[in-house]
């Protein structure tokens, strides 16, 4: 039991490390690409990478049993919204603050699990979550950094959607192979990101910017680090 917990914690730490590296690369490209474009380029790179790996390490694409498609679709939607909100904040505020907002997802997971999974909420977990929420409030203090109400809203939204994605992932393992879930997420977000780039959405989608030569490296690194982060989850 102890080894299982340590392994799980190690995987979460590795996932967060990969997502942190990905966030740094997104910050570099945020001056040129809109949040929607970064969502698309990250997702399409993930899709191509997973399709390239498939012949060398095949995984089951079909579901183990029926009833998982709606949960998979929900995972794609909430994960995509979390990514879009996070990428918006990366563009508008410091990387550290944007990441802190996003990393509050475990707090929301603790609070939402009793409602969605019918799990018993321990007092220690509740106290830890409350302390974490106080930290979010301190981060959101406009006097500390130029964090406006939109950025605060996006930060909280990204954390909540990430927590919903975490909760959904546990159920999805009963229906799909982990790599299949990652591929579905990458493909779904590639499609939604592509459509979104053609829609004028203030602050989120501002047209299409053709990648420059120097952007190819950053896009590739965003996709690779993002894929590894999803895998370790």
The 3-state secondary structure of 102-144, one letter per residue: HCCHHHHHHHHHHHHCCCCCCHHHHHHHHHHHHHHHHHCCCCC
pLDDT in tens, 147-175: 788 888 898 889 889 888 888 887 888 88
pLDDT at 84: 93
Triad 201, 205, 208: Cα angle to 5°: 135
pLDDT band at 46 (very low <50, low <70, confident <90, very high): very high
pLDDT band at 29 (very low <50, low <70, confident <90, very high): very high
pLDDT band at 144 (very low <50, low <70, confident <90, very high): low
113, pLDDT greater than 80: no
pTM for the model: 0.86
Query: Distance between alpha carbon 55 and the CA centroid of its chain, in Å?
Result: 26
Name the 3-class secondary structure at 153. Answer: helix
């Amino acid at each position: 039991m102890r080894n299982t917990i340590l392994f799980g914690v190690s995987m979460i730490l590795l996932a967060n490390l990969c997502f942190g590296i990905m966030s740094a690369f997104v910050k570099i490209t945020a001056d040129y690409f809109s949040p929607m474009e970064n969502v698309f380029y990250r997702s399409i790179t993930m899709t191509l990478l997973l399709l390239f790996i498939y012949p060398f390490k095949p995984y089951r694409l079909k579901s183990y049993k029926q009833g998982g498609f709606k949960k998979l679709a929900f995972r794609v939607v909430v994960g995509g919204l979390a990514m879009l909100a996070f990428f918006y904040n990366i563009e508008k505020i410091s990387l550290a603050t944007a990441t802190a907002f996003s990393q509050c997802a475990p707090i929301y997971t603790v609070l939402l699990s009793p409602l969605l999974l019918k799990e018993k909420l321990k007092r220690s977990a509740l106290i830890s979550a409350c302390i974490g929420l106080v930290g979010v409030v301190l981060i959101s203090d406009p006097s500390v950094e130029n964090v406006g109400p939109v950025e605060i809203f996006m930060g909280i939204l990204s954390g909540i959607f990430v927590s919903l994605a975490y909760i959904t992932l546990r159920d999805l393992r009963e229906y799909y192979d982990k790599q299949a879930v990652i591929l579905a997420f990458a493909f779904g977000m590639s499609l939604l990101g592509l459509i979104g780039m053609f829609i004028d959405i203030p602050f989120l989608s501002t047209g299409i910017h053709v990648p420059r030569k120097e952007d190819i490296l950053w896009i590739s690194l965003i996709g690779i680090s993002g894929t590894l982060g999803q895998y370790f989850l």
